[in-house]
Amino acid sequence: MTPAIPRDVEPRLLRGFLAVAEELHFTRAATRLYTAQQALSRDIRRLEHVLGAPLFTRTTRQVELTAEGHRLLPLARRVLRAHEDLAAAFGPGSGPRPLLVDLNTDGPGTGRTVLERARELAPDCELMARFESGLTHAAAEIAAGRLDVSFGYADGLDPSLRARLARRPVRYEPLAVLLPEDHALAAPGPVPLDALVGEQVYTGAGNPRTLEWTGLARELFAGRGIAAAPPAPVAVGKDEFRRIMAKTRNPVLVTVDFPDMPGSVKRPLTAPVPLSPLSMVWRSGFSHPALDALHAAAAALAAERGWLAVPAGSWLPAGLTPAPGGG
């Protein structure tokens, strides 16, 4: 007998299935959904009963998708995407929900510039800024559906996380160094990379939110005699930053648009000019009118300001090819 075609699968069951399929771990999936693990396990069993097929194989050490689970995965994503579109079209306020855009820090920068241009292009959409302080953390929030867009060094993300995101190259950002005002290298003008030989430069070591940035710095410093500073307390706010800088006196690797900090000076790096490939990232398959505005804003700004041009003699992480349209 041919099994009946399931017509009333609840979206909650599909959301639970998708979380377990992406995490391959019931506890992490339950945490992501803000639910109890027992309740999630019941939902998965119920979905398996409705569909008449096992979706996961479970052992004490791992969870894996069955063949039927792999077959359901793209279908579940399409159904849940349709529910998102439906809610956006007919939900409260009769318009799309706000788009949550992570800018890393509350200050000037490439992400802020793109966001402000997008707000001009889509005045009827609400684009809400968030400040997650690190793409590694923000990307996990995007994959979990708690955040929509972020900016950063996407190539430095863990491959399993990166595979769940879509991205767009936005800018090759020149790097700089933040120094105490009375540091020997604080005089006006660029700082050659070789001048940092023997220094301990802070690159976010020990901060789980910024693993991609720490990895970029590690590659830049390799073979140059520049050491990464040991982990330090993460300073939140300008006053705390001033205090930690005065205490450690370690130079800090930043981008040229990093906010000015009290008690410190920012100097561009040169010889060669190191570039950080910054991308806009969002959840694969996600759509939103404000996301379209961010795309348009990023494209226009890159063309106007030459953001995707790579000057001769610059440094880029190994294996990266400049994006189309760059120099």
- The backbone torsions φ and ψ at residue 286, rounded to the nearest 5 degrees and listed phi first, read -80, 140
Answer yes or no: are the C-beta atoms of 170 and 114 closer than 8 Å. yes
Q: Distance between CA 22 and CA 283 in Å, rounded? A: 13
Specify the pairing of strand 127-130 against strand 99-102: parallel
* Per-residue pLDDT, 95: 60
Give the amino acid at 237.
Answer: G
pLDDT value at residue 327: 39
Say which amino acid occupies 197: V
Superfamily name and number for 173-270: Periplasmic binding protein-like II (3.40.190.10)
pLDDT at 326: 47
Predicted local distance difference test score (pLDDT) of residue 2: 42
Domain ranges of the chain: 11-90, 99-171+277-305, 173-270
How many whole angstroms separate alpha carbon 196 and alpha carbon 179? 11
Phi then psi dihedrals of residue 79, to 5 deg = -65, -45
Peptide bond into 272 cis (omega under 30): yes
pLDDT for 83: 77
Chain centre to alpha carbon of residue 170: 13
pLDDT < 70 regions, the chain: 1-7, 87-96, 321-327
Q: Do domains 11-90 and 173-270 have the same CATH topology?
A: no
CATH (residue range 11-90): 1.10.10.10
Closest CA to 152 of 28, 281, 15: 281
So what's the architecture of 99-171+277-305 in CATH?
Answer: 3-Layer(aba) Sandwich (3.40)
